[in-house]
Amino acid sequence: MQRAIEMCMPTSIHRWCIWCIMNKIPSKLNGYKRHEEIEQEMSHVVWKSFTKAAFDRNWNNFVTKYGVGGNKSLLVKT
């Protein structure tokens, strides 16, 4: 799919939908000791942050609280 989009629409930017992102989270966090708690809080941050400012604040707090800032899978690009 990605190659087809790149060929047909070379100037478009592909973004993952939120469902796809959240569906992959368990496999990305499985190595962490408290992964179930981390997943639950992450889900809360993603689904309960109703503005960009709230998301940014909640995400930064989440990353700091769990020390997951070095995980490339959790980088947020705005």
pLDDT tens digits along 25-55: 888 887 788 888 989 999 999 999 999 999 9
Q: Do 21 and 59 touch, CB atoms closer than 8 A? A: no
Over 80: is that where the pLDDT of 64 sits? yes
Cα 71 to the chain's mean position, in Å? 11
The predicted pLDDT at position 78 comes to 56
Long-range contacts of 69-77 (CB under 8 A, 24+ apart): 71/28, 71/29, 73/24, 73/28, 74/28
Q: Do 38 and 66 touch, CB atoms closer than 8 A? A: yes
Determine whether 34 is exposed, middle or buried from the number of CB atoms within 10 Å of its CB (0-12, 13-18, 19+).
Answer: exposed
More confident call, 68 vs 55: 55
**pTM score, whole prediction:** 0.69
More confident call, 77 vs 31: 31
Domain positions in the chain:
2-69
